[in-house]
Amino acid sequence: MKSLLPFLLNLFGLSLIAQNLIPNPGFDKLTDCPFDQSQISFAAPWVTASNGTPDLFNECSNAQFIKVPYAGRWLDSYQLSRSGMGYAALELYTNVNVAAGNSEYMETPLKKPMKKGISYYLEFYVSPDITPISFWGYTDAVGMALSDTFYFKELNAKEVLPLKPVIENKGAVITDTASWTRISGCYTAKGGEKFAIIGNFRSTQETIVEFVNPTYPFNSFFYIEDVFVQEFDPLPDTLMLCDGLPKTLNASFLDAAYLWNTGETDSTIVVHSPGLYTVEAVMEKCILRDTVMVLDMRDMGNFPMDTVICQEEPLTLTSPIIGEYLWSDGTTNKTNIVQTAGNYSVTVTNECGQVIFSTDIEAKHCDCTIYVPNAILPNGDGINDELQVFVDCDFQYQIKRLSVFDRWGSNIYTATEGMEIKWNGKHKGKPVPNGVYVWFLEYEVVRNGVVQKLTKSGDVSVLK
């Protein structure tokens, strides 16, 4: 039985507020003001991921080439911060044959590990340093990789980190030094990713470069700003409609465009009926998806009525609706495994209020008895003419095979699953001699959802 307690919670919309998983995304929180190159660690928790030396620039600095906006490698270097007071910088390409690799890399832990199967939107902004002389130029190669462990590698000349970026600029050389270029994309998490690494993950030969008058050596140097990683999971897994009243689904996410499986294109929609609702959030270069199952409280399944179980055979009771659970025995899971007689109830609290389900459980002794006669008289009088199997079982069962053997071990009769089990004392159409024959039975019983394979044997006398 069930009872509905008279308090309801009004819920006009659901919108989960997600967070940027990148700490210190704009490199503005400093442990000290940078005064020289190679001080990315002052923007903790950012560090280098190789023996390269990423730079940190900020307005607080008084050092030449470090103070924003006149920060970079040359007197002509100039870039305003996109947000805050500073930014980081990486050398993304070099043909110089010295240790430290083809690119510098910087790395940070995420605020929390990524969740398996969840979609994430990732972005960061880059701007190349102005190149007043011929051996400084531009490249297309910059991306972000993810790792489940902290990653560091000593690189040899022209070597790159052996990681596959999940987002990357590829094919189009970035030459805009006046503004910031967004690098973005979507990623479905494998689960457990904990670190983000930014740099060029392609070799010198694979990297596209552009120089006015290339000489040797030549390099490419980029500013990095506003790193962003956010999960796209705005919808709950399930949503309840209380007494058939409509609810609002809110999928708002950054500057996305939206398409629901209902055909609607707003970030929010109103649902009036149960069903599966899916939204696509279209970002610059990718599509993020999320799904919610909408249920109607009035259509939920029933709780088991008064039930009889076998002693020591557990029964799993399951709440027919979602919410927070409190069983009469203190259990707080959606399911409760019971093995003894008694009254069991569960109080479920959700946005629709409280509902109580209860059932009385009676326990009895259960058994599965197999009886096979020890003698048959196949004389055609209709009395005890055939060998049969009689089953008295409180469980679900299935006879798989019955075989009869003579005293020399020869199989003279077999009946398998689906066949009628009746031996009339004949073999190949002829009556067998009087005597003792051995039978062997294979059968299965299902106890608490588990199949048990069992056997039984005995003998039967054939008399005439």
Whether pLDDT at 69 is above 70: yes
Are residues 97 and 146 located together in one domain of the fold? yes
- Confidence band of 14 (pLDDT split at 50, 70, 90): very low
SS3 77: coil
C-alpha 167: how far from chain center: 20
The tokens for 35 are 């005064």
Q: 17: Cβ–Cβ under 8 A, 6 or more apart, which residues?
A: none
Return the CA Rg of the chain: 37
> For 335-357, what is each residue's pLDDT tens digit?
998 888 889 999 999 888 888 88
Pairwise CA distance, residues 174 & 170, whole Å:
10
Pairwise CA distance, residues 246 & 251, whole Å:
16
Are residues 242 and 172 located together in one domain of the fold? no
Average pLDDT over residues 25-40: 97
Better-scored residue on pLDDT, 218 or 55: 55
Whether pLDDT at 393 is above 90: no
Are residues 70 and 124 located together in one domain of the fold? yes
In a domain, 34, yes or no: no
Whether pLDDT at 91 is above 80: yes
> For 224-244, what is each residue's pLDDT tens digit?
999 999 999 999 998 888 888
Please identify, among 316, 337, 362, the residue that sits at the C-terminal boundary of a domain.
Answer: 362
What does the mean pLDDT of the chain come to?
88
Positive or negative, the CA dihedral 77, 82, 87, 90 is negative
Query: Which CATH number do you get for residue 124?
Result: 2.60.120
Are residues 50 and 163 located together in one domain of the fold? yes
Give the pLDDT of residue 301: 67
> For 112-159, what is each residue's pLDDT tens digit?
999 999 999 999 999 999 876 655 788 999 999 999 999 999 999 889
The structural domain count of the chain equals 4
Look up residue 57 and give its DSSP letter: E
**Phi–psi pair at 366, nearest 5 degrees:** -120, 150
Q: Where are the beta strands (DSSP E) in 129-218?
A: 136-139, 142-147, 167-169, 181-188, 195-199, 209-210
Average pLDDT over residues 61-78: 93
> For 158-213, what is each residue's pLDDT tens digit?
899 999 999 999 999 999 999 999 999 999 999 999 999 999 999 888 999 887 66
Give the pLDDT of residue 13: 36
> For 248-296, what is each residue's pLDDT tens digit?
999 999 999 999 999 999 999 999 999 999 999 999 889 999 999 998 8
Give the range of the structural domain holding residue 104, as residue numbers without chain letter: 40-232
Give the pLDDT of residue 410: 92
Task: Provide the total of helices (H) and of strands (E) in the chain, helices listed first.
Answer: 0, 34
Whether the model pTM is above 0.85: no
Are residues 47 and 147 located together in one domain of the fold? yes
Query: Which CATH number do you get for residue 317?
Result: 2.60.40.10
Are residues 228 and 241 located together in one domain of the fold? no
Tell me the residue type at 185.
Answer: G
Pairwise CA distance, residues 361 & 21, whole Å:
49
Please identify, among 253, 277, 298, the residue that sits at the C-terminal boundary of a domain.
Answer: 298
Give the pLDDT of residue 354: 87
Closest CA to 8 of 292, 250, 241: 241
Give the pLDDT of residue 124: 98
Percent of the chain with pLDDT over 70: 93
Give the pLDDT of residue 322: 84
In a domain, 397, yes or no: yes
Are residues 137 and 168 located together in one domain of the fold? yes
